[in-house]
Structure 1
Amino acid sequence: MASQTTAVTRRTVLSAAFGLGVAAAAGCGGPAPSSSTDTGEASGAIRLLTPIFEGAEGQKTLEGLLATFKQKYPKVTVEVDYTTYAKLNEKLTTSIAGGRPYDVMLMGVGWIPPFAAKGVLADLGENADALTSRFNKRVVDPGVYQGKVYALPIMLDTRFGIYRKDIFAEAGLSAAPKNFDELRDMGRKLTKREGGKLVRAGVDILSNDLRQTFLPLMWANGGELFTPDGKVAFNSPASVAALQLMTDIIVTDKTEDFGYTQPGAATGIPLVQGRAAMMVGHNNVWLEIEKNAPDLVKDSKIGFFPIANTRAAMFQGGTLGTVAAKSQHPAAAKALVQFLADSDAALAACRQRGNVPALKALESSEYVKANPSVQFAMGNLDSAFSEGGVPAWLEIRGDFKAAIESALLGKKSPQQALDELAAKATQVMARS
């Protein structure tokens, strides 16, 4: 019930903010800031809202970066407001409703269409094709809406398959699963119970956010969130089969029990503890491995694999830098976004969170070379898919968890769960 209350609150705030008409005309975005980064043009006091660089260590890192930015742009002053991704949407929409949006707003992948469609974001005046010389096209696309670039990528966070090579070897397995059938077969073989109690999950699909586990499975099976013309597609046969796979893992194969682990559980990540043989997980699992199970690193016991069936897929989220259409200092704001998306700032942000650089050039950095999880993510960006794509996405995404849970708990069939979710999403999209 608490999650439903939160979802309604955010949806209400979002609708109210956009309903006030505080931004420019819907669908057109704001004017492009000056493309010049000349220090004579970039001036003024600007406000930055960021969900990254959190905590004392992160704030110290950002302060150092902004000192460097100040040296290059002495006429620009940056006031920072730190938040979390859990509170970011509310912060953004409250500032918009109040008529004083932040000049620079760091947002997640999938967030650009909802805000660009309402004219909240400024067109950065960048050429999307030109940006692909610095970033993989899959990284550029989430910042583009209706052919215009509204955001630059700063860092990525990805989800893909992770497995314990030592546990696989004990079971006589030498390679990761290459399709859904192998995933299920291996999961059953690797599951271990004692007296009926699960002590090792063959495949862990619960440690990761349920939506972010379902989506790469859906993409791997050929499904899509939305059609090219913006209609709901996540209840297609391919998508239903992906949720059926998750349901079979829990209900039929019993390779993991619901409640065995949950995202953010204090008990730690089962794969790292040896309580799971493989998982769909976040790239920053590597940080916990280094901290709590260094022998797994030393003995190269961790492997990675793309989720695959009809095609290979990897979930790609991340953090993007945007400029408010109503910023009074657009040149200064754009200069800050460009600075945060450049190598020094982006690498510092990735180091703190164990995340994946967006810039191609950073693939050869010492940070990436020392982190196999990040190496894998950067090497598989051609198979990456991102959520979102429609203006109503932020109002829709929160409903995925309940729908997926209803199937995993056997309360509804995967088809029923996704059909009901699709009907609700269609209604939301019609109102947007």
Structure 2
Amino acid sequence: MITTLTRRRALGAALAAVTLGATAACGGAAAEDGPITLDVWLMKDSAPDAVLQQINAEFQAAHPGVTVAVQILEWDGRDVKWKTALAGDNPPDVLEMGNTDVLAYAASGGLTDLTGREFENRATWLQGLREAGSYEDRLYGVPYYGGDRVVIYRKDLWAKAGLSAPPTTLAELRTAGEKLQAANGADFSGLYFPGRYQYAALPFLYDTGGTIAVKDGERWSGALSTPQARAGLTNWAELVKAVSRAPADADETNLPDVLAEGRAGMIIGQAWMVGSIGRDHPELADQLAAFPVPGTAGPMPVFLGGSNLASAAASPHPDLAYDWIRLMTGTKYQTLVAQNGLLPNSTSLAGVVTGITKIQMDAAAKSWFTPTSTKWSDVDNAQVLMDMLQSIAAGDATVAEATAKADAQIDQMLNAA
């Protein structure tokens, strides 16, 4: 899941000027008599207001008598709202879901099976997003946009510390962080790494051959206590202790501010942050660069996050919902998404990405996703992994103690009746 107000502004600036060929994009929905309201639920910061107004105006022009009503949901508490709405008599027609959320709702019968529908670039969708939207080889969530993380650094601070070429190994990354700290003072983070930043920390366990959980038959088991996973989390904990002054109880919310304000030389963030920092701090526009997160041997596997668009199984307007989803996930919008620092939903659009976004696209070839359990959202909503990481970063628990506790929680949640 990718959510920030800054990214929303960045994407909105470029998309606001686009005019859509709505008749071509939206043709194919069955005609319905009388005034109709198509209810679309999107997540906060995922689509700028200007874009929504333009898409909906064009959509409505292509479908006389239809009004699109968009409701914006907060990420916190989304699960309760979805469950209540999908169980009621008047569910939304279209829902944006984080790609870690789709599986549970598809398995419960709450979402429309879109397997037989046609979508642009379907054959070349990013595999991680396709998997996130699929259940038992059926499509329920259409890839909307993706995102993975890279190391973003300040070139001016880099030069001050006497650094030149970007590191290619985890050991070199730590050395670079230590040099940045030495050149900028005790309160400075060579690499700012908040303790609860799970989607930047978990790649460390995949880097050493670990995983979060495994399935044997019908039963899931937490795998954080395996030697491979613990080795990776130990590498993470040692790096954080050596080069980060970020709070153990913080998440990634203020990463751009920390880098822009000169409190860190590096952050692990998403490509759109480079553009947003440059716009908010023009003096830094030429001072930002990025490189893949280095692991013990080559680039570290990245988490492929993002969102999928789904239709409620009980939607009274399934054809209209399909047309709206097809429009939002088509080539034209995906190209603009890519040009503004987010990963488009298809590898066929790799040619439209440049600079740091291209680094993201290349990194996506070596990616991982959360366990494909229908109950994974319960683990995610309970913040089991973030609590585990915070306890390690704060020194409240050893890696062995924290992973054992998290595994027990994962076992209980994923195997609950």
Aligned match for 2:170, one of 153, 176, 180: 180
Q: Which residue of 1 aligns with 2:229?
A: 239
Match of 2:393 in 1: 408
Alpha-carbon shift at residue 283 of structure 1 (Å): 2.5
Residue number among 373, 381, 393 corresponding to 2:356 in the alignment: 373
Matches within 5 A, 1:101-250: 101-126=91-116, 133-192=123-182, 198-206=186-194, 210-227=197-214, 229=216, 230-250=220-240
Q: 1:8-36 CA deviation, whole Å, 9 max, x = no partner?
A: xxxxxxxxxxxxxxxxxxxxxxxxxxxx9
Normalising by the residue count of structure 2, what TM-score does the alignment of the two structures yield? 0.81
Distance 1:213 1:242 in 2: 12
Q: How far 1:425 moved relative to its partner?
A: 1.1
Question: Which residue identity is paired with 1:290?
Answer: G
What secondary structure does 1:303 align onto?
Answer: strand
Equivalent in 355, 365, 373 of residue 390 of structure 1: 373
Deviation of the 1:311 alpha carbon: 5.4
Partner of 2:309: 321
Shift of 1:349: 5.8
* Distance of aligned partners of 1:292 and 1:333 in 2 relative to their CA distance in 1, 3 Å threshold: closer
Instruction: Give, in angstroms, the shift of residue 341 of structure 1.
Output: 0.9
Describe how 1:291-310 pairs up with structure 2 within 5 A.
291-298=279-286, 301-310=288-297
What's the offset of the Cα at 1:267?
A: 9.0
Structure 2 contact 392–399 (Cα < 8 Å) conserved: yes
Q: Are 2:120 and 2:330, in contact at CA under 8 Å, matched by a contact in 1?
A: no
- Work out which of the residue numbers 59, 66, 73 in structure 2 matches 1:83: 73
SS of equivalent residue, structure 1 residue 382 = coil
2-structure distance, mates of 1:265, 1:123: 35
- Residue 148 of structure 2 aligns to a residue whose secondary structure is strand
Q: Tell me, in whole angstroms, the C-alpha distance in 2 between the residues paired with 1:129 and 1:341.
A: 8
TM-score by length of 1: 0.78
Whether the 8 Å contact between 2:221 and 2:410 is mirrored in structure 1 is: no
Equivalent of residue 274 in structure 2, options 278, 286, 294: 286
Give per-residue Cα distances to partners, 1:132-175, cap 9 Å, x unaligned.
Answer: 53323233221112211111111123222223344334434333
- SS state of the match for residue 81, structure 2? helix
The one of 34, 43, 55 aligned to 1:51:
43
What residue in structure 2 maps to residue 341 of structure 1? Answer: 329
Q: 1:173 to 1:349 in 2, by over 3 A?
A: closer
Alpha-carbon shift at residue 203 of structure 1 (Å): 1.6
After superposition, the C-alpha distances for 1:384-428 in whole angstroms (9 at most, x for unaligned) are: 323342111111121211111111111111121111011011111
User: Gapped runs of 5+ residues in structure 1?
Assistant: 1-35
Residue 127 of structure 1, CA deviation: 8.6
**Unaligned segments of structure 2, at least 5 residues:** 1-25
Q: Residue 152 of structure 2 aligns to which amino acid in structure 1?
A: I
- The CA distance in 2 between the partners of 1:86 and 1:351, in whole Å, is 28
Call closer, same or farther: CA 1:130–1:48 in 2, change over 3 Å.
closer
Distance 1:103 1:179 in 2: 47
Q: Secondary structure at the match of 2:205?
A: helix
Amino acid at match of 1:214: A
Partners of 2:262 and 2:389 in 1: CA distance: 26
User: Helix, strand or coil for the counterpart of 2:222?
Assistant: coil
Specify the SS of the correspondent of 2:302: strand
Summarize the Cα distance change of 1:129–1:358 in structure 2 as closer, same or farther, 3 Å threshold: closer
How do 1:354-369 residues align onto structure 2 when only pairs under 5 Å count? 354-365=341-352, 368-369=353-354
Whichever residue aligns with residue 64 of structure 2, its letter is: P
- Preserved CA contact (<8 Å) 1:201 1:276: yes
Residue 350 of structure 1: CA displacement? 6.4
| Distance in 2 of aligned mates of 1:163 and 1:317 | 22
CA RMSD of aligned residues (A): 3.1
Count of aligned pairs = 384
Distance 1:266 1:377 in 2: 20
Structure 2 partner of 1:29? none
Q: Deviations over 1:60-98 (max 9, x none)?
A: 320111122223333644222111222422221221243
Amino acid at match of 1:416: E
Once the two structures are aligned, what percentage of the paired residues are identical? 22
Distance 1:102 1:245 in 2: 44
CA contact (8 A) 2:28 2:323 kept: no
Instruction: Please give the per-residue CA displacement for 1:178-231, whole angstroms capped at 9, x wherever unaligned.
Output: 23222223322322377xx62321222118x51112122222332222325543
- Contact kept, 8 Å, 1:177 with 1:183, in 2: the verdict is yes
| Matching residue's letter, 1:391 | T
Q: Which residue of 1 aligns with 2:86?
A: 96
Corresponding residue SS for 1:376? helix
Summarize the Cα distance change of 1:343–1:51 in structure 2 as closer, same or farther, 3 Å threshold. Answer: same
Matches of 2:256 and 2:385 in 1, distance apart? 24
Structure 2: how far apart are the matches of 1:250 and 1:39? 53
Measured in 2, the distance between the counterparts of 1:264 and 1:275 equals 14
